[in-house]
């Protein structure tokens, strides 16, 4: 089936959706992106994703040639052109075409790309049985170098961590920050539960301020969990009662083994099941039908 991609104001066929090799997004990873999910005609936490995109742009002094409202319209148009109900939306704004030097002032116009496609989750088995993860040597970027709050096209340290996870034979890596505290995974935020308390690293530990992380932090008190954002080490992971990840593509996925140690009895915990249910309920019902 044909797939239409939004490219600088036009909807073009997938095979025609091309940018120049002189684009600094390609040459230097100079650009930003968002990953958004739509559930039966609603776009989950749409405004928050658009706000985060524009915050990332501001941080790297990237000019987006659309207002937030125009960007929202363009996203809806792209979903409609592909006749999708439930989908994953990738929004990319790159610095655009320049010369071979890295100075972004040689790039007069950014490129705006919107792709709406099917969702790629972890295989269903992991939602039932839980994931195995490992901590890896590659550290998360320090905020003083490239702040992980910027959702930039520069994901190379996460990619190195993913390679390390692959080599360990698991799907996901837990990344520590430069001080050895747990930061996040390569594409998801991480949580533990200990004695009826939900703990996640503060964003200042070196994590993206995940929009689904916020959803989890909203739901947790409704389940009777105390919520804390605080630093913790690998020891806390190994000795947790429960552990799970959150992210737009992954939603909430249980973790049952870390660095070859079972989390509790090695099966997903009760709070995690309840969080998965509540998360899905919210994602499927919150907000208005907009397409």
Q: How does DSSP assign 181-205, residue by residue? A: -EEEESSSEEEEEETTEEEE--GGG
Q: Active site includes 151?
A: yes
Is 162 one of the binding residues for ligand PMP (CB under 6 A)? no
Nearer to ligand PMP by Cβ, of 56 and 110: the residue is 56
CB of 109 to ligand PMP, least distance (A): 26
Which residue in the set 25, 98, 210, 269 belongs to the binding site for ligand PMP (CB under 6 A)?
A: 210
Instruction: List CB contacts of 230: < 8 A, sequence separation 6 or more.
Output: 199, 201, 202
Catalytic residue among 4, 125, 151, 278: 151
Q: Which residue's CB is nearer to ligand PMP, number 172 or number 184? A: 184
Q: How far apart are CA 166 and CA 152, in angstroms?
A: 23
Quick check: 201 binds ligand PMP (CB under 6 A)? no
Cα(57)–Cα(191) distance, integer angstroms: 28
For residue 59, what are the CA distances in angstroms to 22, 53, 108? 23, 10, 18
Which among 86, 106, 83, 88 has a CA at the least distance from the CA of 96?
A: 106
- Segment near ligand PMP (CB under 6 A); pick from 15-23, 165-173, 185-193, 261-269: 185-193
User: Which residue lies nearer to ligand PMP by CB, 107 or 174?
Assistant: 174
Which residues are tagged catalytic? 151
Task: List residues near ligand PMP by CB under 6 A.
Answer: 35, 158, 184, 187-189, 208, 210-213, 246-248
């Amino acid at each position: 089936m044909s797939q239409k991609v939004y490219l600088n104001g036009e909807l073009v066929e997938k095979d025609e959706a091309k940018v120049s090799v002189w684009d600094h997004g390609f040459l230097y990873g100079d650009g930003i992106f968002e990953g958004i999910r739509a559930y039966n005609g609603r776009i989950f936490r749409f405004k928050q994703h658009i706000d985060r995109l524009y915050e990332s742009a501001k941080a790297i002094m990237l000019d987006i040639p659309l207002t937030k409202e125009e960007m929202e319209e363009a996203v809806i148009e792209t979903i409609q052109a592909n006749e999708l109900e439930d989908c994953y939306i990738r929004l990319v704004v790159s610095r655009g075409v320049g010369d071979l030097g890295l100075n972004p002032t040689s790039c007069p116009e950014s490129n705006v790309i919107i792709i709406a496609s099917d969702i790629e989750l972890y295989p269903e088995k992991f939602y039932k049985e839980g994931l195995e993860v490992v901590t890896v040597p590659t550290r998360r970027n320090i905020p003083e170098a490239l702040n992980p709050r910027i959702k930039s096209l520069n994901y190379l340290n996460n990619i190195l961590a993913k390679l390390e996870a692959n080599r360990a034979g698991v799907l996901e890596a837990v990344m520590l920050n430069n001080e050895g505290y747990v930061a996040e995974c390569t594409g998801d935020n991480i949580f533990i539960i200990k004695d009826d308390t939900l703990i996640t690293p503060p964003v200042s530990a070196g994590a993206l301020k995940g929009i689904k992380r916020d959803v989890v932090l909203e739901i947790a008190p409704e389940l009777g969990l105390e919520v804390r954002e605080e630093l913790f080490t690998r020891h806390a992971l190994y000795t947790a009662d429960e552990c799970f990840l959150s992210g737009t593509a992954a939603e909430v996925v249980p973790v049952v083994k870390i660095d070859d140690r079972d989390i509790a009895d090695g099966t997903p915990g009760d709070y995690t099941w309840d969080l998965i249910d509540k998360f899905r309920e919210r994602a499927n019902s919150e907000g208005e039908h907009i397409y």
